Amino acid sequence: MTNQVKKIFLVATAMTVMSLNAMAGVVIQPSGLPKAAQDFIKKSFPNDPIVYAEQNRNDFEAALESGIEIEFFINGDWKEIKSPYKPLAQTLLPNAVANALKQKYPQASILKIQKQYSSYEISLDNRREIYISNNGEVLGEKLD
Q: Enumerate the domain spans of the chain.
A: 3-80, 90-143
pLDDT per position as a tens digit, 43-82: 999 999 999 999 999 999 999 999 999 999 999 999 999 9
| CATH topology match: 3-80 vs 90-143 | yes
d(CA 52, CA 118): 29
> The whole model's pTM is what?
0.82
d(CA 84, CA 76): 22
Spell out the CATH class of 90-143: alpha beta
pLDDT per position as a tens digit, 94-137: 999 999 999 999 999 999 999 999 999 999 999 999 999 999 99
CATH no. of 3-80:
3.40.1420.30
Taking alpha carbons only, the member of 2, 6, 7 closest to residue 65 is: 7
